[in-house]
Amino acid sequence: MILEIKVPSPGESITEVEISSWLVKNGDFVKKNQVIAEIDSDKATLEICAEESGMLIIKAKKGDILKVGEILCLIDTSFSKEKRNFRAPSTIKILNQYKIEKKKIISTVKNKKDDALKKIPSMGTKNLINRSFDITKLSKLRRKLSERLVSVKNETAMLTTFNEVDMSNIFFLRKKYKNIFKEKHGVKLGFMSFFVKSCIIALKKYPDINSMIDGENKINFKYYDISIAVSGPKGLMVPVIRNADTLSFRGIEKTIKNLSNSIKNSTISIDDITGGTFTITNGGIFGSMLSTPIINPPQSAILGMHNIVERPIVKLGKIEIRPIMYLALSYDHRLIDGKEAVGFLLSIKESIENPIKNLIGSEENLKNSFELK
């Protein structure tokens, strides 16, 4: 029996996908539910699994663009698992072209094109060594991201303003409660939950930063869906913490952990990465001192966090060493004035530098806020 494997629909508005990789080869025996390929849409990468066991017959190569519902491959379910020893036409062509003896190609089951390529004599100037390069096609996800980033630069009046924040009190709270928080909730008490809560307070003070332009109209969102930039195997993705203003520290940290795991495991859904009213990106995890983050369209602003470095600052006329983080807010000047942008960062600075007063309420409420009772 020949079973057709067709391109599934990744989402309501997506009509085509690109084959980003084949995890098996043409003619391989595959098992039921085995992951055989990955496909890219404009918004996410999806895995394709074998629906039955049998011999795989690939109908579309890596990089091909297919419509939803088109045939991706076939599975001949009448084949049982067996070793097959054959040479592909592309390999034979290379062997003949460069007069490479077949006995020099070492392979146990299948001779690969790469095996033959490795035997091609080196060419070029004697003194020029190690000057090889690879050419790979950008994935559909990366090409779409490129288009979006360029459109932001061309279609918005983007500016960036900066400030710095003393992280001493956040360090103190995390050191005091991180172990019991992890034991109680199974997730770390990270910096991000403090910044999400600080941003929500600031967004309520400066509602135009939680807005977007729609033609000649401005849309102010009355809810707070905070997008968090997460680096994954396929590049940067921006999943959304829905109704972040209703979540506790535990709720925010657990949501971030679950979304990050979904990205790493390639199980993230379209719904998880669409929408969002404001974005936070943390280049500090890679060691970035300062950056000008690009707005995540159609949003109007994005907060950039950076690495924390001990720096000398003046406190009450004395020089002290404090853990300092630089903050950056990139914003669309068509909607947001500089005064609002500066005020927004100052609000975050106040919340982070005095978290007990501004985020928690009082010292007596600490354990309630961290849900440790």
Q: Which residues are catalytic?
A: 333, 337
The strand pair at 278-282 and 301-305 is best described as parallel
Nearest one of 338, 324, 295 to 158, comparing CA atoms: 295
Half-sphere exposure of 125 (CA within 13 A, CB side): 3
Mark residue 184 as left, alpha or beta (left: phi above 0; alpha: psi -120 to 50; beta: remaining).
alpha
Cα distance between residue 342 and residue 333, in whole Å: 12
Backbone angles phi, psi at 179, to 5 degrees: -70, -45
Helix (H) or strand (E) holding 132: none
Give, to the nearest 10 degrees, the angle between helix 249-264 and helix 168-185. 70
**Tokens representing 250?**
């535990």
Please report, for residues 32, 304, 352, the alpha-carbon distance to residue 349 in angstroms, rounded to integers and kept in the order given: 54, 13, 5
Rounded Cα distance between 280 and 276, Å, is: 11
Alpha-carbon separation of residue 345 from 139, 244, 303, 360, 369 (angstroms): 36, 19, 9, 19, 24
The CA–CA distances, whole Å, from 363 to 40, 188, 202, 359, 360 equal 49, 21, 22, 11, 8
